[in-house]
Structure 1
Amino acid sequence: MRIISGTHKGRRITAPKNLPVRPTKDMAKEALFNILSNRYYFEELKVLDLFAGTGNMSFEFASRGCKEITSVDDHAGCISFIADKAKEWEFLIATRRMDVFKFLDKAHEKYDLIFADPPYDISDEEFDLIHKLVFEKDMLLQDGILIIEHAKRTDLSHLDFFTTVRKYGNSRFTFFEAKK
């Protein structure tokens, strides 16, 4: 894994081997950020990274200038790794060790972009629950988007506010947007 662009472009992210993660591949991440860079000024974004794992996506947002990033994961090792690297690299990333579904249920903040990369083996009901909680809790700011990464076998196009799905190898990014 590496940071694709920004102040820390090219920096390798070498996570401990004992973390239960499946990081987004560099090719897929680069394609996603090309889409986002045509739409947003990263310096203005408030980002929520759910199932943050290694912090791969959070670090990419931070390197591109995002000042408000919250990374949520329930694994202590993942959160510790993200917090340590954020401090070392002087990134402004708030970390929360918490079950993502409990975090979403209790959340009161709004974000420009919410990125969720749950384990590919979660149930369809859990994928739907991520979407349901984000939209029921009105967690997106005006023109905000929810992006859920998932395996190609999962189809989320039936959910409200669906806009598009992008395919990169075995990964899919499904986009949702509530126009306000």
Structure 2
Amino acid sequence: MKWLALAPVAIFAALGGFFLSGLFREDPDALPSALIGETAPAIDVTELPGRTPLPDGFLADGEVKLVNFWASWCVPCRVEHPQLKTLAEELPVYGVNYKDQIPDAISFLEELGDPFAGIGVDARGRVGIDWGLYGVPETFVIAGDGTVALRFAGPITVSVIEDTIRPAIEAARAQ
């Protein structure tokens, strides 16, 4: 009977340990991705009229690149857009327009500029599912061999470029 009296204490201690372990993760805001270190999924998209399409085989062309999922209806995408233009001066940035209306996507790029070396449209969100998207914006650093080096969910800011994106780019280049 004494062990029954200890059961609530043991359960409380186990739950407390579980919750405390979540507080001490390396980056509590980071969303996990099963793609890190794996070959990037194929990007089967349609063309955005009047824009450079995604070239065949670009994911494993030997060059480090970014793949950015975005939409015109996404307010954080608007916020991160100047940073994508900055990054596009350093390496190719490819865009996947996610579940958007074609005229809205074109207007977005006409208003803010087009930083993308190539762009495609994922109208139904199938590519987003393959890539494990939680939402937009999401940006992936892809190594030259086509493996995913980093997944960043959320808008890219200047500090994210310095603290997260550029170190991942350098690490991917060193592979």
Q: TM-score under structure 1 normalisation?
A: 0.30
Larger C-alpha radius of gyration, 1 or 2?
2
- Greater strand content: 1
Bigger RCO (CA 8 Å, 6+ sep): 2
Q: TM-score under structure 2 normalisation?
A: 0.31
